[in-house]
Amino acid sequence: MPVLFLSFLVPLFPIAAAEPLTFADAEPQRYQFSERASVIDARARAYPEIGFLLEKDGKPADVQHASVDTRVAPQGKLVIWLMAHSGPLFERVNSYGFHIIRVHYANGWFSKFGQEPPPADDKFLGKIRLEAATGEDFSDAVEIQKPDGAAERAFQFVKWLAAKHPAGRWDTFLTEDGQSLRWERVILAGSSHGASTAARWAKHQKVDRVVMFCGPRDQYETWQALPSATPVNRFFGFSHVLDGGWTGDHYCRSWQLLGLQDFGPVVNVDKIPAPHGNSRRLITDVDVKNDAQSAHNCVVPGGTAVKGADGKFVHEGVWRYLFTHPVELTGKAVPPEADCSMELRRAAKKKETKPGS
């Protein structure tokens, strides 16, 4: 019987493992950077019709922020934060070994288009979000050019950081040809309006992870159920139960449409400690003096985040979980919660047409 040699399947030489990312910094420290988007990229322009400005009241409105801590072993992940700059959040993300940037992108449009009653198109807001994120033509309501999309702003910012601060290894997040970000190393994160955009963007662009504080909302939309480029087990959400988005079933609805029930039940982090049953749907009922606005903001580091008797934030472990919990570790699938209303659009339409309303 002839013998078939399969030696060609085995490499003749050992394949070298990828070199671990390290910092070569003579003076390790936490570095913070800020620069205007219009200075980094001369193509940047304003869109006053949707409140997307370069200057406001004579002051720069397009300042972007970044930070990295070279004292911490780098994990090779870049967080793109889609909300106002938050020093406490940036500090914590850096302590996890991550780089982080906050880009100036179109989000002022919500005051114009995000009001009731809901439009006929049940993906109307999602299309605007995707155009704001990518600078590509997804919506007839806005015309945002590529240099002004969050993706290009992030790419140009990282290129600027790589040139300005080589010791920070920002080049890690650029492709070999320098023409794009390495999206597989990107974590999209945001709160409220930014959480909704982060989720919509990750549906379109595959990324490493999505962290959604007090969101997503868009309670009359169905884009949350669209096929996702980013695997669903990589979406993590955290909300307070007194937040209007929770009491109004906005968040639980979005989480169900995203399919997060496939990875565990809704878990109260104040009752079930880390790893919170490996769930992707986390809530808190920590005392916020019955204030809905404080409830909305308290899930994000800083601001109204709640401290314990020891003076430390009570959700430090939750924040670390959201950004670092291994995505392959998940809870067991559960049925969708029956007490979460999924027909908010229909209810709004009925209210709109009710006689005397």
Report the pLDDT value the prediction gives residue 1, as an integer from 0 to 100. Answer: 44
pLDDT above 70 for 282: yes
**Rounded to whole angstroms, how far apart are CA atoms 167 and 156?**
18
Confidence of residue 9 (pLDDT cuts 50, 70, 90): very low
DSSP secondary structure letter of residue 181: B
Question: pLDDT grade, residue 110 (50/70/90)?
Answer: confident
The C-alpha atoms of residue 48 and residue 89 are separated, in whole angstroms, by 29
Query: In the structure encoding, which two tokens stand for residue 220, read together?
Result: 């009359």
CB 78 within 8 A of CB 173: yes
Instruction: Quote the pLDDT of residue 117.
Output: 82
Q: What is the pLDDT, as a whole number, of residue 340? A: 98
State how far the Cα of 159 lies from the Cα of 187, in Å rounded to an integer.
17
Question: Is pLDDT at 11 greater than 60 in this prediction?
Answer: no
Mean residue pLDDT across the chain: 94
The domains located in the chain, with CATH, are: 28-353 (3.40.50)
Sheet with 99-102: list strands edge to edge. Answer: 30-36, 63-69, 99-102, 78-81, 186-191, 209-213, 235-240, 281-284, 266-268
Question: Would the pLDDT of 17 be above 80?
Answer: no
> Where does the pLDDT of residue 18 fall: very low under 50, low under 70, confident under 90, or very high at 90 and above?
low
Comparing CA positions, the residue from 249, 196, 251, 257 lying closest to residue 226 is: 257
Task: Please tell me the predicted confidence (pLDDT) of residue 309.
Answer: 97
Q: How confident is the model at residue 114, as a pLDDT?
A: 82
Is the pLDDT assigned to residue 77 strictly greater than 60? yes
Print burial letters for 157-194: b (CB count within 10 Å at least 16), e (below 16). Answer: bbbbbbeebeebbbebbbeeeeeebebebbbbbbbbbb
pLDDT at 205: 99
* pLDDT the model gives residue 266: 99
According to the model, what pLDDT value does residue 118 have?
Answer: 87
Per-residue confidence at 353, pLDDT binned at 50, 70, 90?
A: low
One-letter identity of residue 22: T
Local confidence band at 196 (pLDDT 50, 70, 90 cut-offs): very high
Q: Is the pLDDT of residue 14 over 80?
A: no
Average pLDDT on 240-254 reads 98
DSSP secondary-structure letter at 209?
E
pLDDT for 248-271, tens place per residue?
A: 999 999 999 999 999 999 999 999
Q: What pLDDT digit, counting tens, does each position of 132-183 carry?
A: 999 999 999 999 999 999 999 999 999 999 999 999 999 999 999 999 999 9
Average pLDDT over residues 18-26: 90
